[in-house]
Every structure is written in C-alpha cells, then in structure tokens.
Structure 1
Amino acid sequence: MQTIRELFKIGPGPSSSHTFGPMRAAQDILASAPEAKSFEITLYGSLALTGKGHLTDAILKKTLKGKSVEIIFDYKTPQDHPNTMIIKAFNPDGSVITKTYVSIGGGKLMIDGQPPQSAVDIYPHTTMDAIDQYCRENYLTYDEYVSEVEGKDIDVYLAKIYKAMIDSVKKGLSKTGRLPGKLNLDRVAYALYESANTCHNEADRDALLLQSYAYAASEQNASGGTVVTAPTMGSSGVLPSLVYHYSIDKKIPKKVIFNGLKVAGLIGNLIQENATISGAKAGCQAEVGAACAMGAAFCACCDRMSNEQIECAAEIGLEHHLGLTCDPVMGYVMIPCIERNAVATTRAVDAARLAKYLRNVKKNRVSFDMVVKTMNLTGKKLPMELKETSLDGLAAVVMEKENNK
C-alpha cells in the first residue's frame, strides 16, 4: 500500500481520471518526445464517452500548447481498462513514439503496462484487520500508525493539502454566475451559504453551512479550478468541506485536522488497495462512497473517537453507498455529482455520530474490510452503461426529458 501522498494530490478539475490523468500523460509524452511537432491521441471507453464533458480534450490541447494535436474519440474498440488512451508523437525525422496510458484514478497513470514509478508500497499491512491488530499490540491510534509509516515530514505535505482544500472552498464560495458547459447550471454555493447565515434553526444552519462548502469545492472542480483528489476530483467536495467546517467553524487545531487527514488517507488507501476509487471501474460508490467513508473517519478522529469507532464510522459511510452508479449528465461532473457530494458530506457526519454510540453497545458484525470487498464485487457487476459513460441512468433520463421539450 502506497503513501497517502499518492492519494491526496492537487490539480485541475473536473476529473482526476479524465482531466488530471490525461494532463500528466501529455506531460509524459512531451518529456519522451520533446522535439515532436504533432500528436495523435486516441481516447477509448469512458475517456471517449465522457471526455468532452470532463474537459479531457481541452486539457490535452492546453498541455500540448503550440503543437498540432488530433484527438480521436474511439467509442467501439474494447480495452482492458475503460480509461485507456494511446498517444503517438511524430518527430521531425519521421520517427514515431507511441505510448499507452491508463488513467487508473486519482490522477495516477499506468504507462505501457507499468505502474507509476512513485507507486512504491510502504505500508506493511493492506487490510484494516491487520492494521487493527498491529495498533492493539503497539498501543497506537490510527493517526499514530500513519505517522509511524509515513515519517514526520508527512505533516509538511498535509499542510499543503490542507491549504488547497481550504482554498477550494473559499474560492467556490466567492463566485456566482454559471458553471461552464451546455448544462447552463447556476453556481449556488454562495446562495446556500447566505441562506445558512440567515437560518434561525441551529441544526439546519450547521447542516446547510456544511453543504454550502461541499457545493463550493465541487463547483470549483466542475469549472476546472484547482482542487484536491480526495480520493478523486469527482468527490472533491466531501472531505474539503469537512476540513473547512472543523477548522473554520469549530476552531479545531491544525494538528488535530492533520491527524484526521492521516486517518482519512488511510481509509482511502485501503479502498484503493482492495477495490478501486475509479468511477469508470465501479461506479460512484468508488468515488463519493469512498469519500464519505474517508469523511466519516476524519470526523471521528477529530472528535477523538477510538480506533474501533473510527473503523465503524468508515464502514457505515461506505456501506450505505453500495451500488451507487456513476451517470453524469452529458459527461459533466455536475448532475448528479455536486449535489451528491453535499449529501455525502452530511452523511459522513451522521455516520461518525452513529458510530460513536453504536460501537459502545455492540460490535460490528460487518467490518470495514468486508464492505470494501463488497463494493469491489458490486462494482464488477454494475453494467458498463452505469460506470461513467453517460449512457444510462440519470444521464439518459434527464436528456430524454430535455430532448422532448
């Protein structure tokens, strides 16, 4: 299992697999063929079907600025992975460099069948059960376990992640108008924030504030702004909204926030190691579901709960997103993605609260490891049309109504 530095990355939205990953692929081919004057890029599977809505073509052309770029959307040729692209670089001497990239989620790439060079396993354990046993034997909390494996400098990295998360919420709250793209959606984060501040019911105010933060970060992502993969960009509204809430509203010290991020990163790592965080592989349960589990663990850690309560919170957060499809309308990370992030944010808080008391009266029959395994099995059984292709689900129903107007 890799460092959480590989999970938390800062980059341009709206999609870690469809924007951030392709950007890094273009950077890699440029490094491999610096003299090339033209490029031919073929996108397959989910990259082809939702590439325009996810700004895949735009980020490729932007990264290869000044070069001749032809982008081919191949909807029919099957590939082993739905996020596959082949890039050909044409050099002045007539030689051609061809490389195959697979965007495996979270901005990570497999290049010509090889995993990322930075993808070095540093964790000695790959399941929550094994981590629990080690922590019991060594009297460690989960955040202490992460610090032991990652080293003291992990806080320095998390300080950058913290700032980027806070900035994504602040920038999202500061903007009004419409989001880019053919859906013509209004930005509503600021309006929700203003509504929260005029709300007389304390419970409603707190929930609405939290959801306005999720909208803010998600709208920042949907507009191609800078966000943090947590674990992906499609789910980049959940954990940042909680970080903002605990830091700005609840005045929780940064050290505690960083510990919460360590635990959230551990949960995301376990999901990625034993299942997937790719919507194109397993639907939105792998993105927003994973983010909810990470967010629930973050809340539980910041509220000083035990390891057992934190694991329970993460399990609840993921279990109740099982089977969630990825069906973005017109390929945009807007409907249902933005609202889904806001709902998952409050679900994370609820999961942590329930775990706090539930774990005191009973031991979980269903463990976190079991739910991760179930999510993976469920993802494999979801039809391809409901895994980030915009071919079915809400993507089909909403457009059917639009076309019949």
Structure 2
Amino acid sequence: MESISVFEIIKVGIGPSSSHTMGPWNAATSFINLLKRERSVAEVKEVFLEFFGSLAKTGIGHGTDIAGMLGLNGENFKTIDTSKIDEKVEKIKTDQILSLGGEKEIPFVYGYHLILNMQKSLEFHPNGMIFRAVFEDGTELVQDYYSVGGGFIATQEKNSIQKDCVRTLYPCHHGSDVIKYCEKFGFKKFSDLIFVNEESWRPQEETRKEALYIWQQIKECVYKGVNKEGILPGGLNVSRRAAGINRKLLGDKIYKNIDEWFQLVVDAEENFTNINKWIACFALAVNEENASFGRIITAPTNGASGVIPAVLMYAQAFTPFTSEDDIARFLLVAGEIGTLFKKNATISAAMGGCQAEIGVSSAMAAAGLTEILGGNVGQVLMAAEIAMEHHLGLTCDPIKGLVQIPCIERNTMGAIKAITAANIALESDPDKARVSLDEVIQTMWETAQSMSDRFKETSEGGLAIAVNVPEC
C-alpha cells in the first residue's frame, strides 16, 4: 500500500463536489494528456463523454456536466476565474464548439457528445465515466475513469492515477502504525511523525509553507462567504445565512479587509452561545461558497469542506493555540487521519454515504484540534474515533442532487461534533478505550457496503424524495 501526502487530502478545490465536479474535471484533463501521449489533439475529430450511475443521477446538481466540458476545454479548476464559469459553459453550448485541450476547436453538441446515462452504472465504481475520441482517420481511443472521492480518480487498470503516491519512511496505513512508530522512535507528537513522512514529497519548510497557504485560502474562503448575501443557484431558493450571522455577531463594527475582519472576530464577545454561532457561521460561509462553484479547500471532499475550516478558525479565534506551528500541526494531523480512511474505507459519498464525507472530515478536524490542544498520540486517535463513531450510518440524500440541503448544515454539525470529540478525548485515557480508530474505520466500511444505494448520493432516498420540490 502506497502512502498519500496530506496535501492530496487537504487541497485547493472548486465547488460544489469533489467526487462529482473535481473528479470528472481531473478525468477530462487526464484524458487530454492521454490523447497527447497516444496521438495528438490535432488528429481528433470528435470527443464523446458519457457519465454513469451516481455521476449521472445527480450530475446536473453537482455540475458534473460543466466539469466535463471545462476539463475537455483545457480549463484548470485551480486557476479558472470562477465568476466566468457560467459564461464559458454557455458559449460552448451555444456555439456548439469545444476547444479541445485549449488547442483545437471541434464540434460539441450537449446531449449528443455529452450524455448523462441514468439507467446504467459501471461495475468498478458508481462514479463512472467513459471518454471516447474519434480521430480523423476513423480510429478511436476509449478510456474509462472513476471518481473515487476527494477529487481522486482511477481506472480499472490502475486503482489510483494520482501522481504523488510514494512510500514514506514510516508508512502509516493504520492508526496502529502511528502508535507503533511513535513509541519505537520516540515521536512525542503525532505531527512530528507526519513532518518526517512528508519529507518524501518536500522539505519540512516547504510543508510548513504549504500548510500556511492552505490556511490563507481557508480564511479567504470564509471571508468571501460572510460577505455575500442572496440566493444559492440551483432552484431550491436556499438563502445564504453566513453573512447575516456575521453581521449580527459583529453589530455595528466596520472592517475593510480580511485581517481587520478576523481581528474583530478574535475580539468578539466570548460566551458559549456566541462561539457556537461563530463556528456555524464559519462552516456555512465555506459551504455556501462551495454551492456557488466557488474556490474552496477540499478536506477531504467538497461536500464536507466547511468542517475543518470551521474548527481551525475556532482554534485560531477562541483558543490560545494560534501560532503558525499550531496551524501546520493541525492540518498535518487532520490530513493524515484522512489518508487512513481513504486507504481502508472510502471518502466517497457514492460508495459510503455522508459518513464518508462529513464523518471523515469531523474525525480529521477532531484529531487536528486535539493535537494542538496538547493531546498525546493516543488521545488524537481517540478523538478521531469518537467523531466518526457518531457519524456512522449517515446517509447522502441531497435534495435535487444539489450540495445544499442537507449538506450545508451538516458541516456545522460535523464541526461541533469534532470539537466535542476533542474535548472528550483530552479528558480520557486512550488506554482504556474499548473501540480503536482502526476498528471504527472498518465498521464504517462495513456500514457503507451494507447501505442501500438509494442513500449513496443518488437522490433516490431520504430527504431527496421525502421533500416535494418541483422541478425548475
């Protein structure tokens, strides 16, 4: 089993879904690269893209079709001007022309070259898609891809085609590995071990810089979210709430930039009610941005992208643990916990329901918070176990396939559970715990396999059908 960098789990992304937006976008980019290796873009006459299973059933609400088109068009979700997405997509549909890889214009008719096949699922994974290029000489190149959660993609031939998978000095594939290496080599903190392992990808100083970059992106995303009013796109008429909460909590205080705003948050009146409201505000702000095709931090998925930002913002605003070192250690530990779930279970709602998204992100955040609040290695793992234990069985049933109801509010709940789990773990003796993190991960995976497909991001069960929402 190969190791995964924490920055493959916590990374810059784009809304509204890591598996349904970022995954197909990455697959389209990968297919363009495959074309260039096998032949050339100049030789392509037409390209066809067909989505299956969960990708098709909730594709419109998740922007799967948009991601496929923009990826084939040579756009990069890390750099694209998100305010121009609608304009770019409309141009492709209206002109019926795609600039393949940004290099060659080819005919592209939505509904003919791009199909959402809701009647069929591919066997390898419910998030399947097939790309087919037809060359000028009549030959074809066909490739299947699967979006396996968190923006990761795979093919049947190769389980993961992420480029940054290597073997670390102290491979941590289970919680028991973390305990073993920390005890054997004298690592006092969980994050000390991760700092060493991340050297397989970059020097420690670069790891710190990347963590601080992630933190800056988190703050900017939250700041955007708390300063936007209005209705979220998609037809559910969901109102943005973060801005209203932010305004009520700050009263008549005025700020001109992100730093002034954050200082006002830090200086705000601290009581149990207000702190809880701020945590909700932080999470709502991120996920309202996510629902609007905004740029967010995928951690470990987009649907759960508000949990870690909310908990880290809480730590920075309302605890004494606010140093840059604390930020780095929080994110390293959170990311490593995420890798354990990815390697031994799933972080895909289409495979495991919402327990694989909100549950995993809550476990990650709980571990990161416990780390910087002074928890030992056992307590950090215990916090992650507690947080996941109380998300087991959580279904994914988004209304109309949009990452809005119940997804946005679930991030606030996941954040609160993470903080509660950290507090419980810090007051507990992990040696007396009856359930280990490894056992709860295994249980989560078994629960995922037993869960009906109706509750796995298909919008065919739960709230998705219980609430009567007319089609727009």
Work out whether 1:76 is the aligned partner of 2:119.
yes
For these two proteins, the number of residue pairs brought into alignment is 401
| Range with greater deviation from structure 2 (144-153 or 93-102) | 93-102
1:58 to 48, 66, 80: 66
1:300 aligns with 2:370: yes
Residue aligning to 1:378 = 447
Q: Distance in 1 between matches of 2:67 and 2:11?
A: 17
Deviates more, 1:315-324 or 1:349-358: 349-358
Q: What code does the residue aligned with 2:208 have?
A: D
Aligned to 2:182: 135
Deviation at 1:248, TM superposition (A): 4.3
More off after superposition, 134-143 vs 212-221: 134-143
Q: For residue 6 of structure 1, report the CA deviation from its aligned partner.
A: 1.7
Letter in 2 for 1:129: S
Q: What's 2:167 paired with?
A: 122
1:396 aligns with 2:465: yes
Deviations 1:114-156 (A, max 9, x none): 1215152424231111210210122211100001111213222
Work out which of the residue numbers 271, 294, 299 in structure 2 matches 1:225. 294
Q: Any gaps of 5 or more consecutive residues in structure 1?
A: none
**Deviation, structure 1 residue 8:** 1.7
Task: Note if 1:87 corresponds to 2:131.
Answer: yes
Map 1:4-403 to 2 at 5 A: 4-33=6-35, 34-35=41-42, 36-65=44-73, 66-67=97-98, 68-69=108-109, 70-80=113-123, 81-114=125-158, 115-123=160-168, 124-140=171-187, 141-151=189-199, 152=204, 153-197=206-250, 202-250=271-319, 252-359=322-429, 363-399=432-468, 402=469
Taking the aligned partners of 1:112 and 1:293, their CA distance within structure 2 comes to: 30
Deviations, residues 314-360 of structure 1 (Å, cap 9, x unaligned): 11100000000000110000000000001111111111111111237
The 10-residue stretch of structure 1 (314-323 or 301-310) with the greater mean CA deviation from structure 2? 301-310
Name the CA distance, whole Å, in 1 between partners of 2:372 and 2:163. Answer: 30
Answer with 1-10 or 229-238: which moved more. 1-10
Kindly provide the amino acid, as one letter, of the partner of residue 294 in structure 1.
M
CA 1:229–1:98 in 2, change beyond 3 Å: closer, same or farther? Answer: same
Between 377-386 and 158-167, the greater mean CA deviation after superposition = 158-167
**CA distance in 1: counterparts of 2:412 and 2:372, whole angstroms:** 20
Deviation string, structure 1 residues 28-57 (Cα, Å, up to 9, x no partner): 222333233432111111001100000011
Superposition TM-score, scaled by structure 2 size = 0.81
**What's the CA shift for 1:167?**
1.6
Quickly say closer, same or farther: Cα 1:209–1:342, change in 2 above 3 A.
same
| 8 A contact 1:105–1:277 mirrored in 2 | yes
For the Cα contact (< 8 Å) 1:165–1:243, is it kept in 2?
A: no
- 1:91 Cα deviation (Å)? 2.7
User: What TM-score results when the alignment is normalised by the length of structure 1?
Assistant: 0.94
Q: Partners of 1:335 and 1:155 in 2: how far apart?
A: 35
CA contact (8 A) 1:29 1:89 kept: no
Specify the SS of the correspondent of 2:60.
coil
Shift of 1:200: 7.2
Deviation by residue 1:258-311 (Cα, 9 ceiling, x = unmatched)? 101111011111111111100000100010000000011111112121112111
Distance 1:336 1:165 in 2: 22
RMSD over equivalenced CA pairs, Å: 1.9
1:60 deviates by 1.7
- Identity in percent: 36
Work out the CA distance in 1 between the residues paired with 2:244 and 2:122: 43
Secondary structure at the aligned position of 2:56 is classed as helix
Moved more, 59-68 or 314-323: 59-68
Instruction: Name the SS for the 2:428 alignment partner.
Output: helix
Q: Which amino acid aligns with 1:188?
A: R
Q: CA deviation at 1:201?
A: 7.5
What is the DSSP-based 3-state SS (H/G/I as helix, E as strand, rest coil) of the residue aligned with 1:72? Answer: strand
Deviation string 1:185-244 (CA, Å, 9 cap, x unpaired) is: 111111122233459771000010011000001111111111111111110000011222
Cα distance change, pair 119–385 in 1 and its aligned pair in 2 (3 A): farther
Contact 1:102 1:111 in 2 (8 A): yes
1: CA distance, partners of 2:303 / 2:67: 16
Cα gap change, 1:236/1:117 in structure 2, threshold over 3 Å: closer, same or farther?
A: closer
Q: Any idea what SS the aligned residue of 2:211 has? A: helix
Letter in 2 for 1:159: L
CA distance in 1, matches of 2:280, 2:461: 27
- Please state whether the residue corresponding to 2:47 is helix, strand or coil: strand
**Residue type at the aligned position of 1:259:** R
CA distance in 2, matches of 1:369, 1:250: 29
Provide the secondary structure at the position in 2 that maps to 1:325: coil
What residue ranges of structure 2 are gaps of 5+ in the alignment? 36-40, 74-96, 99-107, 252-267
Distance 1:63 1:130, change over 3 A: closer
